[in-house]
Structure 1
Amino acid sequence: MTQSTQRRAPGPGIAAFVGNVLRHKLNFVDYLVELASRHGHLYSLPMAVPTFVIRDPADVKHLLVSNPLNYHKTGSLTVGEKLLGQGLVSSEEPLHGKERKMMQPIFHKSSIAGFGEMMAGATERHIANWKDGDHLDMAEEMMHLTISIVGLSLFSIDLYHEGRELGNEFGRAMKLVTRIQLLPPLPSWITGGIHRRYDESIAIIDAAMTKIISDRKALPQEQWPNDLLSMLLSARYEDGSPMPDKLVRDEVVTIILAGHETVANHLNWTWHLLSKHPDVHGKMAAEWNEVLGDRVPAIEDVGRLAYTSAVLAESMRLYPPAWTLARRAVGEDRLPSGMEVKPKDEFLMLQYVSHRNPDWFPDPEAFRPERFEAGNKEAIPKFAYYPFGMGPRYCIGEGFAKLEAMIAVVLIGRRFRFEMARSGRVGKETLVTLRPRKGLPMIVRKRS
């Protein structure tokens, strides 16, 4: 292969791309899957900088694990710097490594095990007044539930009453980030309105974060609970200096946003799938009766509830909450597939696309939890399915998220099933996370 052909990748022309983006605007990610089926594991997009979508597991491994320092974050995480700052999700090395080391103890398995009772209590409180026949927007309900759980578990604060408003403000900010990211280079008198709305949203979020942090600081230190916020405020660098207030704010925003948004959307898509597959719901309920009886699942039950775990894994395959990872090359490199990488090349690893690779997932659009049962999941390459990312930036909260989703599905699914309240296909909104477009209106049905 010559130097010139190594730089070439198939892909749509700009006219075809723009036309198809407009045609698929409600489900843009499905167009990206279509491009992969047409062009293969590596294709280009006609963007302002060279942009490539990669699906080959070896290439994904190379960017995320083998040579991660050559590939920095880009995309919405850089556009959204006002929102996330230099928190764990968006920072680069060496800061990222320091942050991760500092927070790791709170996400250790032994610490997560202690959150189970809190997660269960928050879930029971949330669903206590649901009745047969209620019409609910499950997208809002799950967001409210998960932001309450994050507040209680990691920051020892009850966000139940202000949780809906705060969660909605995070949602508005993420929509604005996506819109700003897609803006063409236009004069500020044209784009100023959207930037002003974004700044207003950030100001509301900052005020909430400032109150959380200042309320903790106002307490005598011996009264601080043993949680993530106390850990951040007590942290000291090598020279003995504390973490700057701005960075504490960035970490709190990042953990609240990432901690509630991804799990809420995982639950949303799971309820959507179960509404279309009541037999799967019934099979899970039989497993709960056999393994748990009437008790709440604990962290050791995640492995015992094999079918429920498979259902949750298949839900994340079809609808990965974190649906894309974007990286920009720092220096020259060469991918295992042979492509020569140049500085500033951008790469998209789209879990939504990778998880629909028919080489590893036959009939990829079908909901088949059996794919992830023992004896089947071993055939799936590690870097063909990566809903929590991989490598040094692997999601630090994976264990927390899995336990939270398991508890919510069991406690809610024991009592209720759900029917879609509107006909037609549920659209996909591609923000930083993959959300149901226009919410998820459902009808509550009491399970016998």
Structure 2
Amino acid sequence: MSATQTPARTPGPSRLDLLKHFFRSGFRFVEALTEEAEKHGDTFVLPLEVPTYILRNPDDIKHILVSNPLNYHKTGGLTVGEKVIGQGLVSSEEPLHGKQRRTMQPMFHKASISKFTEMMLESTASHTRDWKDGDSIDMSLEMMHLTITIVGLSLFNVDLYREGRELGMEFNRALNLVTRIQLMPFLPKWAMGSLQRKLDDSISKIDEAMAKIISDRRKLPESEWPHDLLSMILASRYEDGSPMPDKLVRDEVVTIILAGHETVANHLNWTWYLLARHPEVHDKLLKEWDEVLGGEEPSMEHMGRLPYTLMVLAESMRLYPPAWTLARRVVAPEKLPSGLELKAGDELLIMQYVSHRNPAYFPEPEKFIPERFSAENKDSIPKYVYYPFGLGPRFCIGEGFARLEALLLLVKMGRRFRFEMARSGEVRPETLIALRPRKGLPMIVRNAR
């Protein structure tokens, strides 16, 4: 079989059908693949240069991500984006990944992240202090600016508020360029060279900002370092006593800032979008907050007492998971539980966006129904069908941090404001490393009551 042939007995669209579908859908990548899953089932193959399987069978997903993860290396956008994020925690492989995770894990324990509650609430109050009824905002920019400020203060003890908007936009530019380079390898050399030069310029600006954060910390005596993630990284030592190399320190800082603000910002973006389309859900949230919180500020202790709020956040991540796909390359041949036989070098796409719309587990999958995640219903959703934070040894280290931040910001802002869409029509997702609203999220600020 040649490299471009579709493996026998595995269903999937022809190359012509795939192109027609993308043209008809306006190149809606994830939407098109969700429709292909409905046509072809839980496993199908795309006729690309390297056989690329789309998988949503729960047993296969468990095997790849949990039972035998070392046989599946990261690939896709993270590989192309290595110039941006380097060998940080998100993109590295074993044994480096395990060492990095052990270094950072204490910072993400429940006791550690609960200390950030007051700062998260104060940052949100400060950021939204001047908003008033009738103001026009781009929610995607506002959430990016707020969450990058929070990750800077909590994990690096650095106030990025002034530089946050510019830094966040630089990350956005770099990721857009990475995506274009990945998806358009057929461009002429001069055009590809232009994209690469723009990417290099963007990365140099990011590197400059990261170098300042690291050098400012190193100028202090070690006894004066704050107890934060940056100090943990700088103080860490390998088995031979050597410190983490400067390049890897840079990669870790970039990865944590990028991942730490992108996921929460986009989770909230999509939540505000869904609430704007479903004001009755916002009404139910206000009722729960009044009954449970009264005049109190939300905290980690309230998470278990705000079930409807957690349902709304879970359903938002079902429809629009910020981490929308996991790309893997097969290291050694093996047969999956479904019977699919894989060869070394095959590519796999395990797409949360597609799995989360499986009608076998989520009836009327395109509808926003928070009650899917009620105590009565949640047991009907298998672990390997809904996995917004990943699974197995690469499960998102910042899951607890992200869940707390999303809840606090939703309550803090949602008690005071509602948000209306400033333009008609459906907001389309943009498939960068995180799932973002395409062309931003222009909204009108309204008083909540």
Q: Which residue of 2 aligns with 1:234?
A: 235
Q: Which residue of 2 aligns with 1:79?
A: 80
Q: Which runs of 5+ in 1 are unaligned?
A: none
Q: Which residue of 1 aligns with 2:413?
A: 412
C-alpha displacement of 1:189: 2.8
Q: Which amino acid aligns with 2:173?
A: R
Which deviations, in whole Å up to 9, do the C-alpha atoms of 1:265-298 show, x marking residues without a partner? 0000000000011111111111111111222221
Q: Which residue of 2 aligns with 1:262?
A: 263
1:33/1:353 contact within 8 Å kept = yes
Q: Which residue of 1 aligns with 2:333?
A: 332
Q: Aligned with 2:345: secondary structure? A: coil
| Runs (4+) off by over 6 Å | none
Q: Which residue of 2 aligns with 1:301?
A: 302
Distance 2:154 2:373 in 1: 29
68-77 or 285-294, which moves further after superposition? 285-294
Which deviations, in whole Å up to 9, do the C-alpha atoms of 1:47-97 show, x marking residues without a partner? 110100001111111110011000000000000111111100000000000
Q: Which residue of 1 aligns with 2:395?
A: 394
Distance 2:427 2:7 in 1: 40
1:130/1:444 contact within 8 Å kept = yes
Distance 1:156 1:26 in 2: 41
TM-score by length of 2: 0.97
Query: 1:158 and 2:159 equivalent?
Result: yes
Distance 2:146 2:86 in 1: 25
When residues 304 and 19 of structure 1 are mapped into structure 2, their CA distance, relative to the original with a 3 A threshold, is same
Q: Which amino acid aligns with 2:155?
A: L
2:7/2:51 contact within 8 Å kept = no
1:7/1:339 contact within 8 Å kept = no
Q: Aligned with 1:445: secondary structure? A: strand
Distance 1:194 1:134 in 2: 36
Distance 2:244 2:86 in 1: 14
Distance 1:294 1:336 in 2: 52
When residues 292 and 422 of structure 1 are mapped into structure 2, their CA distance, relative to the original with a 3 A threshold, is same
Distance 1:130 1:183 in 2: 41
1:6/1:339 contact within 8 Å kept = no
2:127/2:146 contact within 8 Å kept = yes
Q: Which residue of 2 aligns with 1:37?
A: 38
C-alpha displacement of 1:358: 0.4
Q: How does 1:312-351 map to 2 (within 5 A)?
A: 312-351=313-352
Q: Which amino acid aligns with 2:239?
A: E
Q: Which residue of 2 aligns with 1:377?
A: 378
Distance 2:185 2:86 in 1: 23
Q: What is the root-mean-square deviation in Å for CA atoms of aligned residues?
A: 1.2
Q: Which residue of 1 aligns with 2:356?
A: 355
C-alpha displacement of 1:183: 2.1
Q: How does 1:9-408 map to 2 (within 5 A)?
A: 9-185=10-186, 188-408=189-409
Q: Aligned with 1:87: secondary structure? A: coil
Query: 1:426 and 2:432 equivalent?
Result: no
Q: Aligned with 1:442: secondary structure? A: strand
C-alpha displacement of 1:8: 3.0
Distance 1:187 1:239 in 2: 47
When residues 276 and 93 of structure 1 are mapped into structure 2, their CA distance, relative to the original with a 3 A threshold, is same
C-alpha displacement of 1:7: 5.3
2:266/2:436 contact within 8 Å kept = yes
TM-score by length of 1: 0.97
1:7/1:340 contact within 8 Å kept = no
C-alpha displacement of 1:184: 2.5
Q: Aligned with 1:297: secondary structure? A: coil
1:6/1:340 contact within 8 Å kept = no
Q: Aligned with 2:28: secondary structure? A: helix
2:63/2:337 contact within 8 Å kept = yes
C-alpha displacement of 1:330: 0.2
C-alpha displacement of 1:20: 1.6
1:271/1:418 contact within 8 Å kept = yes
C-alpha displacement of 1:23: 2.5
Q: Which amino acid aligns with 2:308?
A: Y
Distance 2:190 2:96 in 1: 36
Distance 2:66 2:48 in 1: 26
1:26/1:427 contact within 8 Å kept = no
Distance 1:225 1:335 in 2: 47
C-alpha displacement of 1:103: 0.4
C-alpha displacement of 1:107: 0.3
Q: Aligned with 1:61: secondary structure? A: helix
Q: Which amino acid aligns with 1:131?
A: K
C-alpha displacement of 1:340: 0.7
C-alpha displacement of 1:188: 3.0
C-alpha displacement of 1:186: 5.3
Q: Aligned with 2:427: secondary structure? A: coil
Q: Which amino acid aligns with 2:165?
A: R
C-alpha displacement of 1:299: 1.4
Q: Which residue of 1 aligns with 2:3?
A: none
When residues 377 and 250 of structure 1 are mapped into structure 2, their CA distance, relative to the original with a 3 A threshold, is same
Which deviations, in whole Å up to 9, do the C-alpha atoms of 1:299-343 show, x marking residues without a partner? 122222110000000000000001000000000111110011100
Q: Which amino acid aligns with 2:244?
A: M
Distance 2:169 2:163 in 1: 10
1:323/1:351 contact within 8 Å kept = yes
C-alpha displacement of 1:190: 3.5
Which deviations, in whole Å up to 9, do the C-alpha atoms of 1:173-216 show, x marking residues without a partner? 11111111112355533410001001111000000000000011
Which deviations, in whole Å up to 9, do the C-alpha atoms of 1:416-445 show, x marking residues without a partner? 001000011111111111110100000000
Which deviations, in whole Å up to 9, do the C-alpha atoms of 1:103-153 show, x marking residues without a partner? 000000110111111111111111000010000000000000000000000
1:10/1:43 contact within 8 Å kept = yes
Q: Which amino acid aligns with 1:353?
A: V
Q: Which runs of 5+ in 2 are unaligned?
A: 1-5
